[in-house]
Amino acid sequence: MPRHIKTAALAGTQDEADAKTRATVEAIITDVKARGDAAVRELSERFDKWSPSSFRLSDDEIRALVAKVSSQTIDDIKFAQQQIRNFAEIQRQSLRDVEVETMPGVVLGHRHIPVGRVGCYVPGGRYPMVASAHMSIVTARVAGVGHIAACTPPNQGGPHPETIAAMHLGGADEIYVLGGVQAVAAMALGTATFTPVDMLVGPGNAYVAEAKRQLYGKVGIDLFAGPTEVLVIADDTADAEMCATDLLGQAEHGPTSPAILLTTSEKLAHDTIAEVARQLTVLPTADVAGVAWRDYGEVILCADENEMIAEADRIAAEHVEVLCHEPRRYLDRLSNYGALFLGPGPTSPMATR
């Protein structure tokens, strides 16, 4: 039976937190639905201290923000988007329309029709979240979406220029500096200044995720994505420093981001805990990552590989890393995960930046 070497400090309290989140989000959505732009502005002032003359960036404002980004970063953004675009095009080509006569006079089929209008939410925070722009806006454009509106929160008085550059280069038709539930609700419900979208996509914190859940049906959504999470599966061949680095690389996304280590090595379990503690003394994002590790971090010791695989499928994490001998064999054995990274090369933090 799996044994916890480290338990999340807030284990068992999630139901109460979820109830509070649901109530808060429902109240905000109701307010935006009833009062439109007035509610959106008041909420933005309350939560983000942000109330510009217009939440939508003009072309001149976009150009000015993009001009603040270094040429190296622009090149990096373009390179990353091209890789994502290339694979998205391959995915799109794999979606084939079908029409077949199943019996004389009976013709059945299906078609893949792009969504008319999509709202992309690109989270904010201390650092630019350019990858979220790549993975929502670029893919929507490849899919053939007719119109793409995108929102990102302000950060200490304005948006991250790098995020705006990624949104613009990715192909967004409209860019708004507006965050939180009020942004998602405005895109979904529409206001005097927001044309309602058909589908909401993109990650966010627990409140944004809950807003998408409550708005599903009024609009489509990509998936119910809460705070980012990582699960590292490691045996006695793994390096504790790498395990700790990758756990903290996701934990730094936010104070509610779970980071979990599954291992068959009790030595690695304790070494990783010690290494996390060491890194938190020097990590610039320790104030966020440390809270996430304390409240949501876990280290679980398993008897063998079979138990690790069963526990991994029970947890069903968004990002799963395998740092084990012959990691490729886990590809056929694991079932429940969002993205799987095999071996020490393709780490989750590298792949999601």
> What CA–CA distance (Å, rounded) separates 221 from 44?
23
SS3 321: strand
Q: What are the φ/ψ torsions at residue 219 (nearest 5 degrees)?
A: -135, 165
Catalytic residue chosen out of the listed positions 134, 160, 168, 319: 319
Residues 247, 296: Cα–Cα separation, whole Å: 11
Query: Active site residue: 210, 229, 318, 321, which one?
Result: 318
Handedness of CA 12, 26, 219, 205 (dihedral sign): negative
Q: Is 319 among the catalytic positions? A: yes
- How many C-beta atoms lie closer than 10 Å to residue 34's C-beta? 10
Q: Which two tokens stand for residue 293?
A: 């590790």
CB contact burial 138-162 (16+ within 10 A = b; e otherwise):
bbbbbbebebbbbbbbbbeeebbbb
Strand partners, 6: 299
To the query of whether residue 318 is one of the catalytic residues in this protein, the response is yes
How far are the Cα atoms of 64, 94, 101, 165 from residue 97, in angstroms, in the given order? 43, 10, 14, 35
The catalytic residues are 318-319
